[in-house]
Amino acid sequence: MGVSELYPVVNSTRSFFALDGMWDFRFDPESIGKKEGWAVALPSPIPMPVPASFADFFTDAVDRDYCGDFWYAKDFFLNQYEEGKRIILRFGSVTHRCTVYVNGVEAGSHEGGFLPVVLDVTDLVKYGERNHIAVWANNELSETTLPCGTVKVRKDGRKIAKPYFDFFNYSGIHRSVHVLSIPKESILDFDTRYELKGDDAVVHYSIRTNGTNPVTVKLLDREGNQVAYSEGNEGSLFVANAHLWKVRNAYLYRLVMTIHGDAGIIDSYESRIGIRTVRIEGTQILINEEPVYLKGYGKHEDFDILGRGFSWAVAKRDFECMKWTNANCFRTSHYPYAEEWYQMADEEGFLIIDEVPAVGMMRSTHNFIAAGMGGYTSFFETPTVPQLLANHKAQVEEMIIRDKNHPSVITFSLFNEPETISEYAYNYFKEVFEWARTLDPQHRPLTGAFEKNSKPELCQVYPLVDIVCMNRYYGWYINGGASEMDEAEELFRDEMDRWAAKGLNKPFVFTEFGTDTLGSEHKLPSVMWTQEYQNEYYAMNFRVFDSYPFVQGELTWNFADFQTSEGVFRVNGNKKGVFTRQRQPKDAAFTLKKRWETK
C-alpha cells in the first residue's frame, strides 16, 4: 500500500475538502474518450450529482441501464498555502473501475467498485489555480470481476449488464470525493489489538509512518481526559477500569497519534476506537468474553433515486429502524459499504459482518434461484480463475486495511453463495482464507455465506470458516405456500439434523431467510407474497432456529426492499424487505421487534 487509506480528518496538520455536488458527466459507448482527449476536456457533458448512481435520474431505459465506459469531470481550486503538503485525491468508491486524470495527466487506476480509490496527486496539481479532474469509469461485469457477471452485446452494439447476482448493477461515483492535504512525513496506517485484564485493558498498537521522527500516542476518554500515553511506533497502552465497547452500548475512546520533529508537531491523526475482544469458543460468539446472539439484517446500499449513493439521511433512518426492531447486527451484503456506515455502527454498538464483493460465483444469471432449487452450476474450473483469485485477494486486503480498526466489525465474510462442492472451490477458497488470516491484526473470525447446494455431505468449504453462515429459503424457494409449510419445516429440520450430526462445534448464523412480500397484500388463509405469509414463514424459521443450540444468530433477508435487474422472479425489485424501500414497516417488522426484545 503506497498511499494511506486512512479516513480524512482535519486538525492542525491536516485538512480536506469534499468535492460532492454537481459534476460533468457523459457516456462513452464507443470507448473513444481516452483517444479523443476527454481527460483534458469532456465534450458536451451533462450535470450529474455526486455521490449517487447515475441510473435512476434518467427517464429512458437505455440511459438507466447503460453499460460500458462513462466519464465524470470536475474542477477544483487549490490554495497557495497548500504548497509543500502532500495532496491526496480520495474517492470513497467508483463502480466498478476507474482511471483518474488530474490536469490531463493519468494519476492512477483502481479495480473494484466498493472500496476507496486513493491517489497521491502532489506532482500533478497547480497551486493558486484551478485544477481539473477527469474520471474514466466502466461498469462491465465479467467472470474475473467482483461481483461476477457478464455483458450481453445486442445486435446494434449496445451493451447490457447481466449480473450473476440479485441487485441492480448501480454504477457511478457512489461515495464522497475528498481532496486531502497532509504533511509529507505522515501517519500512513495504524492498528490496534485488545487484551482484557479484569477491570482493566491493554491496547496494543502499531503505527506506520513514512519517516523516522518519533511517534507518541495518547488515549483520551469520551470527555477528552488522557487515560494512557505511550511512545514509539509499536507499544501498549494500559487502561485502568476500562470502559468496554459493548453490543448496543458503545463506548469510544480517542486514539491520538503524533509525529514530533525538532520544530514541533509534524503530523497528527486521531481515530475513535472501541476496546472489545471477539472470539469464537465452541459454538459461541464471544464479545468481551460474553456470548452474543446476532439479531438483524442482511442489507443493501439502496434507495429511491440515489441508487447506491451514500446518504447520511438514509443511513440514519436505517439505524433508527434497526434499533426499533431491537436488532444488534447487520451484514454488508454483498460488498463493503461506505465507511460512514461503520462509523455509525461504532457509535451505536452495532455488530457488522463485513463482506467482500465475492458474489455471483456460480455460472447462471439467476444462480441463487437455480442453486436454491438444487441445480449444480460449476465455476472454479475455468482458465480465468487465477485472475479472479487475484482480484478477490486484492479486495479482501483493501477491505481489511480499510475496516480493521472498527469495533463494530466482528467478522469478515469472504464470499456469498459460491459453488462450494468441488475440489476446485476448496483450493480456491483455501487460498483466499489463508491470505485473509495474514491481514487482520485482531485475528477476527472469518466466515462466508453458504447457499442450499452447500449441503453437509457435499460442501468442501465449511472447514475453512470459523462461523458457518447459512442462506436458506425453506418455505419460499423450496416448498413455498401455506399448505406446504409443514413439509418445508421437515426438510429444513432434516438438513439441520445432518449438520448437527457432523458435530462441527462452530457457531451457525442464518445470514438469509425471507419471503418476497408486497406491503399492499393481505390474505387469510395466507398465500405467498402476503404480509400474513411473511409472518408465518418467520414463525416456522424461528421454531427451527430455536431447536438447535449451535444457531447463534439470525439476520433476515432483507432489511428493506431493493432494486434488482428485471425478470419474472422480481416485481420491480426484490420485495423481501421487512421494511419497504421507503423504510416503512411491513407487519413482520413488529414480529421481529417483539422476538428480539427478549431473544
Judged by CB under 6 A, does residue 166 bind ligand GCB? Answer: yes
Judged by CB under 6 A, does residue 339 bind ligand GCB? Answer: no
Distance of CA 84 to CAs 163, 184, 212, 215, Å?
46, 8, 19, 21
**Residue placing its CB nearer to ligand GCB in the complex, 512 or 554:** 512
**Residue placing its CB nearer to ligand GCB in the complex, 107 or 449:** 449
- Name the nearest CA neighbour of 69 among 154, 135, 134, 138: 138
Judged by CB under 6 A, does residue 561 bind ligand GCB? Answer: no
Calculate the CA 124 to chain-centre distance.
Answer: 31
Note whether 331 and 352 are within 8 A (CB): yes
Judged by CB under 6 A, does residue 574 bind ligand GCB? Answer: yes
Residues 6+ apart with CB under 8 A from 483: none
| # binding residues, ligand GCB (CB under 6 A) | 12
Calculate the CA 215 to chain-centre distance.
Answer: 32
**Residue placing its CB nearer to ligand GCB in the complex, 328 or 556:** 556
Residue where the block lists cell 420491480 = 572
Distance CA 242, CA 198 (A): 9
Judged by CB under 6 A, does residue 368 bind ligand GCB? Answer: yes
CB 512 to ligand GCB: min, Å: 5
Q: Which of 339, 417, 419, 532 is catalytic?
A: 417
Judged by CB under 6 A, does residue 301 bind ligand GCB? Answer: no
CB 297 to ligand GCB: min, Å: 12
- Name the nearest CA neighbour of 410 among 479, 353, 339: 353
Active site annotation includes 234: no
Q: Of 451, 532, 554, 561, which lies in the binding site for ligand GCB, with binding defined by CB under 6 A? A: 451
Active site annotation includes 597: no
**Residue placing its CB nearer to ligand GCB in the complex, 393 or 576:** 576
Judged by CB under 6 A, does residue 512 bind ligand GCB? Answer: yes
Judged by CB under 6 A, does residue 417 bind ligand GCB? Answer: yes
Judged by CB under 6 A, does residue 557 bind ligand GCB? Answer: yes
Distance CA 576, CA 557 (A): 6
Return the number of other C-beta atoms located less than 10 Å from residue 118's C-beta: 22
Judged by CB under 6 A, does residue 440 bind ligand GCB? Answer: no
Note whether 556 and 538 are within 8 A (CB): yes
Note whether 509 and 470 are within 8 A (CB): yes
**Residue placing its CB nearer to ligand GCB in the complex, 25 or 499:** 499
CB 559 to ligand GCB: min, Å: 12
Query: What does the buried/exposed string (b/e) look like for 172-196 if buried means 16 or more CB atoms within 10 Å of the residue's CB?
Result: bbbbbbbbbbbbebbbbbbbbbbeb
CB 517 to ligand GCB: min, Å: 11
**Residue placing its CB nearer to ligand GCB in the complex, 69 or 561:** 561
Judged by CB under 6 A, does residue 416 bind ligand GCB? Answer: yes
**Residue placing its CB nearer to ligand GCB in the complex, 255 or 359:** 359
**Residue placing its CB nearer to ligand GCB in the complex, 440 or 512:** 512
Look up residue 243 and give its three cell numbers: 470502559
- Name the nearest CA neighbour of 175 among 327, 322, 352, 343: 343
Tell me the Ramachandran region of residue 407: left when phi exceeds 0, alpha when psi lies from -120 to 50, beta otherwise: alpha
> Residue 258 — φ and ψ, nearest 5°?
-135, 135
CB 529 to ligand GCB: min, Å: 13
Judged by CB under 6 A, does residue 355 bind ligand GCB? Answer: no
Degrees (nearest 5) of the Cα angle 546, 549, 555? Answer: 60
CB 58 to ligand GCB: min, Å: 24
Pairing relation of β-strands 290-291 and 284-287?
antiparallel
Return the number of other C-beta atoms located less than 10 Å from residue 584's C-beta: 12
CB 556 to ligand GCB: min, Å: 11
Judged by CB under 6 A, does residue 331 bind ligand GCB? Answer: no
**Residue placing its CB nearer to ligand GCB in the complex, 403 or 417:** 417
Largest CA distance in the chain: 79
Distance CA 334, CA 291 (A): 26
Site string for ligand GCB, 463-482 (x = CB under 6 A): --------x-----------
Distance CA 396, CA 29 (A): 31
DSSP 149-197: EEEEEPTTS-EEEEESSSS----B--S-EEEEEE-SS-EEEEEEEEEEE
CB 566 to ligand GCB: min, Å: 14
Residue where the block lists cell 418455505 = 475
CB 356 to ligand GCB: min, Å: 14
Burial status of residue 47 (CB atoms within 10 A of its CB: 0-12, 13-18, 19 or more): exposed
Degrees (nearest 5) of the Cα angle 7, 338, 350? Answer: 95
Residue whose beta carbon is closest to ligand GCB: 166
CB 510 to ligand GCB: min, Å: 12
Q: Which of 301, 512, 532, 536 is catalytic?
A: 512
Judged by CB under 6 A, does residue 205 bind ligand GCB? Answer: no
**Residue placing its CB nearer to ligand GCB in the complex, 261 or 567:** 567
Judged by CB under 6 A, does residue 541 bind ligand GCB? Answer: no
Catalytic residue IDs: 417, 512
* Contact residues for ligand GCB, defined by CB under 6 A: 165-166, 334, 368, 416-417, 451, 471, 512, 557, 574, 576
